Structure 1
Amino acid sequence: MLSHLLTSIINDIHGDTITLRKLLERCGREGMLLVCAIACLPFLIPVSIPGVSTVFGAAIVLLSTALFLDRLPWLPQRILDKDLDANKLKPVLHKGVGMVGKLDRWLQPRWSGLTTSPMQRFNSAVLVFGGLLLMAPLGLIPFSNTVPAVGILLLTVGMMQRDGVFVLLGYLGHVLTVVYFGVLAYLAWVGGNFVLS
């Protein structure tokens, strides 16, 4: 159960700060997808943690690239060792346990063709794209981090649990993110032309 695994990770967080390196060490290589899922949780609730979007988005990109290349991850020390406020992060993760717990009851192995080779590489490539969307500097715009985070979370839990339905939902989340960002870009363009005219 994903919620039980996430709870055990939260209970292992001690002190005032936590680094991504410690989370990775706790999860191991098999937990790279879990770390990607954890990185999405702060963006699913209305709590702002400064600097998290860039750090976690970059981590998702690099971890997904490692999955795509089927090798152990390499992350810059700047990302691995950046101190995150554990006192702000833990409550967010606790709320994330509830969200993941709701997903647990729906997850089951099905449509496994979407979670096995060669689709594993394609799914990893989609995760890389999702991480880049999450890193977009649009933090002040409503849902600009939430929409890509939902797509990443659905895709990662689908890959972890071999659930092709959730993988498809993750694809849909990424498509909706591109549409949403496209609408924002169009509105900015129209607004800019209006101001200039």
Structure 2
Amino acid sequence: MPGQPSPPPTPSELRKERRRATVARIADAHLSAMGGTLADTIGHDSRQRLVWLALLAMPLLFPVALPGMGSAVGVFCLVIAFGLCAGRSVPLPAWLGERTLSDRVRGLLTRMLARVIHLIARLGRPRLLGLSHHSARWANGLMLSVAGVSMVVPVPVISFDNVLPALAMVLTAWGLRLRDGLMLLAGHVATLVAATSVVLLWWGGSQLVVDLLTRLGVSALQ
């Protein structure tokens, strides 16, 4: 009937609304902080940098990224991890931080940020807060550094070696930024799997090389 008051929102609707409001604040904070230089865009706070780390790592979930992108993202991940462990942000080198961004790049980053954050809003929410507490920064920084090293270390022949480290970075970064302990825990598991896969790939590759050299040596002796 006209004029009839609408029913009060359900607890589920209230949670969704709070989640949307939180994500909107994160998006607005990052969009307003975008400046003309790379240092201004990614920010000087670890919480801001975590979002950009997740955004940069997400394309690496697919084995079609630009050459060298994995190493750059891995180094950036290590910088953030060191800042988490030290309790303060590590400034970017002047030659990198002072690089200016064109309007086209800034527009692309703006659209990417808006789309991804609204997607993450459906998945992440504050829970298991103890895992993202300040007291756990050493453990989280260590796991993030392992993910960074796993991406930086080159694995010969394999073309999708960055997928697992990238997944670990995305889950860990968003877990820390949204204080989603479940997502953070999944990121830690992905980090351990990524590090183990890198070790196994190197071990298998070295065994293959040794076997090949041994066969060549035997053939040469014959």
Q: State the TM-score bracket (shorter-chain normalisation).
A: 0.7 to 0.9
> Who is 1:195 aligned against?
212
CA distance in 2 between counterparts of 1:50 and 1:83 reads 22
Give the ranges of 4+ consecutive aligned residues of structure 1 lying more than 3 Å apart after TM superposition.
81-103
> Who is 1:40 aligned against?
57
Task: Describe the shift of the 1:193–1:20 C-alpha distance in structure 2 as closer, same or farther (beyond 3 A).
Answer: same
Quick one: which amino acid aligns to residue 147 of structure 2? G
Pair 1:152-2:175 in alignment: no
Cα pair 1:58 1:135 within 8 Å, conserved:
yes
Cα pair 2:63 2:163 within 8 Å, conserved:
no
> Who is 1:23 aligned against?
41
Q: Which runs of 5+ in 1 are unaligned?
A: none
TM-score (normalised: structure 2): 0.69
Task: Describe the shift of the 1:94–1:55 C-alpha distance in structure 2 as closer, same or farther (beyond 3 A).
Answer: same
Pair 1:73-2:90 in alignment: yes
Q: Which runs of 5+ in 2 are unaligned?
A: 1-22, 215-222
Instruction: Name which of 190, 194, 214 aligns with 1:173.
Output: 190
| Larger Cα-atom Rg | 2
Quick one: which amino acid aligns to residue 184 of structure 1? L
Pair 1:5-2:33 in alignment: no
Shift of 1:182: 2.1
Shift of 1:129: 2.0
Shift of 1:151: 0.4
Q: Once superposed, what is the RMSD of the aligned Cα atoms?
A: 3.4
Which stretch of the first structure deviates more once superposed, 149-158 or 56-65?
A: 56-65
Shift of 1:48: 2.5
Shift of 1:192: 1.0
Shift of 1:180: 1.2
Quick one: which amino acid aligns to residue 119 of structure 1? A
Task: Describe the shift of the 1:140–1:96 C-alpha distance in structure 2 as closer, same or farther (beyond 3 A).
Answer: farther
Q: Which digits, 9 at most, give the CA deviation of each residue in 1:56-89, with x for residues without a partner?
A: 2212211221122111322223443567899789
CA distance in 2 between counterparts of 1:47 and 1:54 reads 14
> Who is 2:140 aligned against?
123
CA distance in 1 between counterparts of 2:63 and 2:104 reads 16
Which stretch of the first structure deviates more once superposed, 112-121 or 98-107?
A: 98-107
> Who is 1:54 aligned against?
71
Q: Which digits, 9 at most, give the CA deviation of each residue in 1:115-172, with x for residues without a partner?
A: 1132122112211221122212238623211110100110111111111101110011
CA distance in 1 between counterparts of 2:106 and 2:53 reads 15
> Who is 1:108 aligned against?
125
Count of matched residue pairs:
190
CA distance in 1 between counterparts of 2:71 and 2:97 reads 13
Aligned pairs (5 A) from 1:81-100: 81=98
Quick one: which amino acid aligns to residue 135 of structure 2? P
TM-score (normalised: structure 1): 0.77
Quick one: which amino acid aligns to residue 24 of structure 1? I
Shift of 1:33: 1.5
